[in-house]
DNA sequence: AAAACGCACAACCGCTCGTAG
DNA sequence: TCTACGAGCGGTTGTGCGTTT
């Protein structure tokens, strides 16, 4: 291994201190690359004593390595059956899928990928993020995003769009901004909202069930849990890049400042607002969530002809004054500049309404308590009828007239933005309801069995779903949804035979099949991670 | 052809959390 | 309740390789 080779040359290298250890202890323990001799010692030790009790390795084997280092070395390099080399397309698909389900649970993902380590998967994922970010592609294939969205979307009304005015009480700022309130300790212990989050400190899997209020707005797209992290957010800030073809990049920075507490932007619909908020927020504490974002370019169709994406890794000092001027004023080019339907004063000192926009509206709606099918008792469409039952285009619920539905989508923009489908929440809810039946069952069982057992059960179901290679007879083959990935092999057209693909198909539910079967060209759908909007029924 | 540059990947470290004793 | 330990994860760094100048 190259590492071993380099280790020989760097045998004397060592890093900094070792946390938790005394100075003397830390000084006595070697750091840095492992040598082949050390590897041999460790392997020999494990052969004799087995894994575990790693701290005893140093004592018993003479290795000048801390237990953790031994464990990592063994787990990542020395243990047998480790698979080296690049990931196979099947593995990549599985990773993608697992990440959608589990979030940044590398260890759990690794458990599903024999021979692969969590670190390996993490590196792969991070590389993928970077790659796709550069390419302007969504982290997840659009279909996957849609699926994810369906998992996390709760409608206001299962019967269709409920006018905003129908539930004025729920739009009251205190409620709408509930997520922005500092969480009390107990709340903080509760699972964070689903990973529509832009760099939630504890990224949540897309498919994870949640009781949290869910996004509603069509434009609100789940973000992969592995978005650049808040720590980085605070460190490097972020920019909201305008539509590549029309807008210059604008930056938004989060200046370090005491945070009132974990905040959650269910929907980050307005950069002006964001900018007003963020300087008061310490990114790492924010728990900020962005939805409506597709990674890496997150379309913010906050009105007018412009939508915005997020670009990370800008110096925190890069404040873009243009942010508010472009987007924050609530005066989108085509929107008439009026305030959004709702004006909300959040916990921040500054009124937000003045900078409100369509996405802020979405944010507000997104924070409404879900009153979904579970509550309304509305029958859930069968999965097989999911696409057939797409309702006619709904009346705009929140999106202002300048919503993205009126945005002219160019092919190039589509490819870049891979915009979320502004599918009707109802339709999405159908999907989510159908798809989430399992999750709901799990939840019910959870309540019966206790949270812990429920979690285990959920995992088991998750796992069984993943590992269920069966395919319903007569089901059309799944589209090669991942063909949009430039890094994927082009020879994946036959992946339908792949167990992983089947697994994915199973797990993702049938709606995908309906979608894909309803569209003439998979390439059109997936080629660039975006939908062929004109082919989507019942949208806009 | 050589240097510079950028990217992908491997590997490590530090922090944090959960759990058992 | 405290502590030690294992484990998980984010972040960083080093290296190799391909591309560009």
Helix/strand number for chain A, H first, E second = 24, 3
pLDDT in tens, A124-167: 887 777 777 777 776 666 666 666 556 544 333 333 222 322 23
Q: Which residues does strand C reach (CB under 7 angstroms)?
A: A 2, 5-6, 9-10, 51-56, 67-68, 71-72, 104-108, 118-119, 122-123, 126, 203, 226, 228-232, 235
What the block records as the tokens of A286 is 């924010």
Q: Which nucleotides of C are covered by protein (CB under 7 A)?
A: 4-12, 14-16
Q: How far is the CA of A495 from the C1' of C17 (A)?
A: 30
Please check the confidence at residue A117 and state whether its pLDDT lies above 80. yes
Beta strands in A89-132 (DSSP E): none
> Residue A89 — pLDDT band, cuts 50, 70, 90?
confident
Mean pLDDT along residues A91-107: 79
CA distances to A37, A43, A51, A256 from A233, rounded to whole Å, are: 41, 40, 38, 10
Which domains are present in chain A?
A: 31-80 (1.10.10.60), 85-152 (1.10.10.60)
A266 close to A196: Cβ distance less than 8 angstroms: yes
Region A224-252 average pLDDT:
32
Average of pLDDT values for A77-81? Answer: 79
In A324-378, the DSSP E strands lie at none
How far is Cα A142 from Cα A121, in angstroms, rounded to an integer?
22
pLDDT computed for residue A360 by the predictor = 32
Q: Tell me which range, A4-18, A121-135, A262-276, A343-357, is most confidently predicted by mean pLDDT.
A: A121-135
Q: Is the CB of A449 under 7 A from strand B?
A: no
Q: So what's the pLDDT on residue A43?
A: 83
Question: For chain A, what percent of residues have pLDDT higher than 90?
Answer: 0
- Inform me whether the pLDDT recorded for A281 exceeds 50: no
Q: Collapsing DSSP states into helix, strand and coil, what is residue A251?
A: strand
Tokens of A288: 């900020």
Model pLDDT, residue A385: 33
C1' nearest to CA of A14: which nucleotide?
A: B12
User: CA at A229, C1' at C17: how many angstroms apart?
Assistant: 29
Strand arrangement of the beta sheet that strand A249-252 belongs to: A249-252, A238-242, A308-312
Average pLDDT, chain A: 44
Structure confidence at residue A148 (pLDDT): 53
Closest to A367 measured CA to CA, from A289, A270, A285: A289
pLDDT band, very low/low/confident/very high, at A76 (cuts 50, 70, 90): confident
Q: What are the residues whose beta carbons fall under 8 Å from the beta carbon of A456, sequence distance 6 or more?
A: none
List CB contacts of A285: < 8 A, sequence separation 6 or more: A230, A259, A261, A262, A263
Burial grade of A59 (CB within 10 A; 0-12, 13-18, 19 or more): exposed
Q: What is the pLDDT, as a whole number, of residue A441?
A: 35
Judge whether A181 and A367 are in contact, CB under 8 Å.
no
Residue of least CA–C1' distance to B9: A123
Distance (Å, rounded) from C-alpha A437 to C-alpha A374?
10
Query: Would the Cβ of A185 be found within 7 angstroms of any atom in strand B?
Result: no
- A468 near A499, Cβ under 8 Å? no
* CB A252, CB A320: distance < 8 Å: yes
Measure CA to C1' and name the residue nearest C12.
A15
Q: Count of CB atoms within 10 A of residue A535's CB?
A: 14
The Cα A109–Cα A225 span in angstroms is 14
Question: Residue A81 pLDDT > 60, yes or no?
Answer: yes
CA-derived radius of gyration, chain A = 24
Residue A108 has pLDDT above 70, yes or no: yes
Query: What is the average per-residue pLDDT within A491-499?
Result: 34
- From the CA of A381, how many Å to the C1' of C19? 53
Residue A477 confidence (pLDDT): 30
Residue A280, pLDDT > 60, answer: no
What's the predicted TM-score (pTM) here?
0.43
A20 touches strand B (CB under 7 A): yes
């Amino acid at each position: 291994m190259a590492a071993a080779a380099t280790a020989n040359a760097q045998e004397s290298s060592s890093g900094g201190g070792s946390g938790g250890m005394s100075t003397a202890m830390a000084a006595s323990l070697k750091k840095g690359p492992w040598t082949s001799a050390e590897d041999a010692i460790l392997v020999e030790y494990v052969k004799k004593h087995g894994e575990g009790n790693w701290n005893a390795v140093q004592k018993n084997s003479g290795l000048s390595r801390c237990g953790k280092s031994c464990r990592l070395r063994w787990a990542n390099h020395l243990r047998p059956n480790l698979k080296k080399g690049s990931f196979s397309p099947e593995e990549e698909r599985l990773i993608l899928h697992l990440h959608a389900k589990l979030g940044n649970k590398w260890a759990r993902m690794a458990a599903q990928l024999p021979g692969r380590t969590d670190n390996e998967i993490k590196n792969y994922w991070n590389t993928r993020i970077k790659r796709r970010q550069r390419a302007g592609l969504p982290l997840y294939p659009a279909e996957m995003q849609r699926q994810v969205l369906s998992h996390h979307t709760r409608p206001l009304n299962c019967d269709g769009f409920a006018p905003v005015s129908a539930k004025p009480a729920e739009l009251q700022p205190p409620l709408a901004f509930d997520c922005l309130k500092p969480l009390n300790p107990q709340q903080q212990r509760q699972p964070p909202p689903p990973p529509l989050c832009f760099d939630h400190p504890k990224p949540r899997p897309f498919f994870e069930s949640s009781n949290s209020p869910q996004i509603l707005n069509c434009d609100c797209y789940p973000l992969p849990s592995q978005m650049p992290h808040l720590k980085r957010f605070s460190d490097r800030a972020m920019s909201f890049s305008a539509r590549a073809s029309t807008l210059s990049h604008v930056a938004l920075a989060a200046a370090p400042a005491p945070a009132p507490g974990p905040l959650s932007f269910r929907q980050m619909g307005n950069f002006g607002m964001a900018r007003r908020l963020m300087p008061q927020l310490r990114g790492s504490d924010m728990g900020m969530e962005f939805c409506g974002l597709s990674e890496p370019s997150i379309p913010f169709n906050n009105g007018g002809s412009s939508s915005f994406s997020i670009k990370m890794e800008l110096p925190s000092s890069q404040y873009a004054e243009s942010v508010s001027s472009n987007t924050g004023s609530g005066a989108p080019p085509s929107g008439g500049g009026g305030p959004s339907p709702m004006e909300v004063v959040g916990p921040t000192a500054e009124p937000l309404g003045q900078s409100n926009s369509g996405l802020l509206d979405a944010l507000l709606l997104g924070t409404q308590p879900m009153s979904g099918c579970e509550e309304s008792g509305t029958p859930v469409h069968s999965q097989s009828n999911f696409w057939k039952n797409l309702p006619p285009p709904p009346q705009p619920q929140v999106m202002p007239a300048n919503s993205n539905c009126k945005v002219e989508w160019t092919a190039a923009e589509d490819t870049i933005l891979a915009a979320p489908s502004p599918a009707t929440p109802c339709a999405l809810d159908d999907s989510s309801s159908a798809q989430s039946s399992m999750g709901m069952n799990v939840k019910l069982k959870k309540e019966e069995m206790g949270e812990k057992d429920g979690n285990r059960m959920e995992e088991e179901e998750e796992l069984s779903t993943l590992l269920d290679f069966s395919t319903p007879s007569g089901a059309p083959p799944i589209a090669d949804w991942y063909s949009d990935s430039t890094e994927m092999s082009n020879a994946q057209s036959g992946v339908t035979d792949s167990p992983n693909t089947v697994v994915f198909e199973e797990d993702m539910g049938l709606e995908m099949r309906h979608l894909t079967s309803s569209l003439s060209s998979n390439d059109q759908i997936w080629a660039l991670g975006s939908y062929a909007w004109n082919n989507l029924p019942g949208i806009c």
